[in-house]
Structure 1
């Protein structure tokens, strides 16, 4: 990146877990965090978004910190940048806003610092920041991702062109991941672990074979986190009942919540969105599709074209 270049970094949102896929299954969504970057004499990070306007505007901004520390990890001091941030991803609602910021910071370091990182190297760095690979993997690779993290290694597969879409019900209230993790048990019995993991395995098989009814059944049978988190979500069961009676094949918490995500065959989501919005007017119903491409970096000129 030269002094006169302007870069555009675009990173999709994500939904994780999808019921039983706790900390291992993620899905990239067509909501985006977008950075416009140019080299500058000092770090400056600003946004016109209402949700982001109170965040730091200097190098203490989270995205800048991820970029600076990523470059330092590879022995590079990053040139300061002026960054304009735009985001369609609601903060602290279970739609991967922090994961998208982590991926954006790593892509920023890689582009500005000429680090030459592979996707796999970016994935490991992002997973170390986030603590699990599902959200960051979806934001990096796009599509439906299944990942495993352990012993300083991440293995992941991504699947695209899946013919379903989603309706997300986004509440006004936030729910921090830290708070929602505090309600989870610290251990599971052997029997619970076997049942929970087999449910997640079958969910993946059902999604990839397009057996929607079985996928929805497995989403409801989660034992890892939803039984403990659903009580934190106002009217969860009412939302689930309305969605399923209106054509959704499955309903789950998005990530740690509080957003509830309803899965439906492609082409049928618009009516479901209207139905859910009418049933729960205090929430924001959004029709979403799968983002199959993951994070993308281009020049401002290429972005316009």
Structure 2
């Protein structure tokens, strides 16, 4: 079997730990029965020996596979990674969701996407990345009594993601240490109001309010100070017509939502200003992970 899992951009400014969307940039994993376990890695991380000796995908896969079958059959795992590591594009969530979904598939057990999502929350405690990796589209999620509740909106084919991917990673764990333990009421209300308006904007496809709705005062500024060029990335994107421009997850990538006809202009302006950064235009994903039987 082969599974494809999309990249994701989470938080989207004020939607800290609850809002996210899926991007048409995919990791692929092919799993084959074998006489002995083996792992091959191509693409992102192919030179990292730890991905073969201590592979998180394989560990989670076998936890689930043994749980449902009682066996640890040997398989060959072939990874083709396109999602950059530690760049705020949901590489960890793609690993978790992909491992869980493929384990059930290889065990011959059909499970719902909701079941995959609620298994994934045991490994990734915030649903902002895992929900769009499961469902695709734009997702708004909460965790209630250890269960994830998510609403999904399919994204228009007329929209594109312009991603600025710096040559420097940012650790999510380290980024969280930069955040305060408590917030002023006015800052909480600031983010709540904008996250609410953003959700309404995506579901109603009212893109005109996104620039105002995507502003944040709880986490972005503190995280972006680790790579100050990101402040200018946002300015350049918005000046050239981006609908919104936000830190992707905890960074270091920056996500701009643009209309298809304006994507090339925004991307070129960013390339001209940030020559050492990778700038890419991606379509958006509405399907989430996909399992292909070979």
- TM-score, normalising length from structure 1? 0.91
Secondary structure in structure 2 of the residue aligned to 1:264:
strand
- Displacement, 1:115? 3.2
Deviates more, 1:151-160 or 1:54-63: 54-63
Secondary structure in structure 1 of the residue aligned to 2:130:
helix
**Aligned counterpart for 1:145 among listed residues 130, 135, 139:** 139
1:281 correspondence with 2:268: no
**Structure 2 CA distance, aligned partners of 1:189 and 1:46?**
49
**Aligned counterpart for 2:205 among listed residues 210, 216, 219:** 210
Question: How far does the alpha carbon of each residue in 1:3-57 deviate from its partner, in whole angstroms, 9 at most, with x for none?
Answer: xxxx111111100011011111111101101011101122212112252332446
**Structure 2 CA distance, aligned partners of 1:61 and 1:245?**
42
Unpaired stretches in structure 2, ≥5 consecutive residues: none
Q: 1:98 to 1:76 in 2, by over 3 A?
A: same
**Structure 2 CA distance, aligned partners of 1:50 and 1:223?**
33
**Structure 1 CA distance, aligned partners of 2:240 and 2:186?**
35
**Contact 2:238-2:244 within 8 A present in 1 as well:** yes
Q: 1:208 to 1:248 in 2, by over 3 A?
A: same
**How many residues end up aligned between the 2 structures?**
293
**Structure 1 CA distance, aligned partners of 2:84 and 2:114?**
27
1:298 matched residue in structure 2: 292
- TM-score, normalising length from structure 2? 0.94
Secondary structure in structure 1 of the residue aligned to 2:110:
coil
Q: 1:113 to 1:56 in 2, by over 3 A?
A: farther
**Structure 1 CA distance, aligned partners of 2:206 and 2:113?**
31
**Structure 1 CA distance, aligned partners of 2:44 and 2:223?**
28
Unpaired stretches in structure 1, ≥5 consecutive residues: 1-6, 301-305
Deviates more, 1:250-259 or 1:226-235: 226-235
**Structure 1 CA distance, aligned partners of 2:31 and 2:148?**
29
**Structure 1 CA distance, aligned partners of 2:184 and 2:178?**
17
1:70 correspondence with 2:64: yes
**Structure 1 CA distance, aligned partners of 2:90 and 2:273?**
25
1:188 matched residue in structure 2: 183
2:92 matched residue in structure 1: 98
Query: What is the RMSD computed on CA atoms of the aligned residues?
Result: 1.7
Q: 1:103 to 1:186 in 2, by over 3 A?
A: same
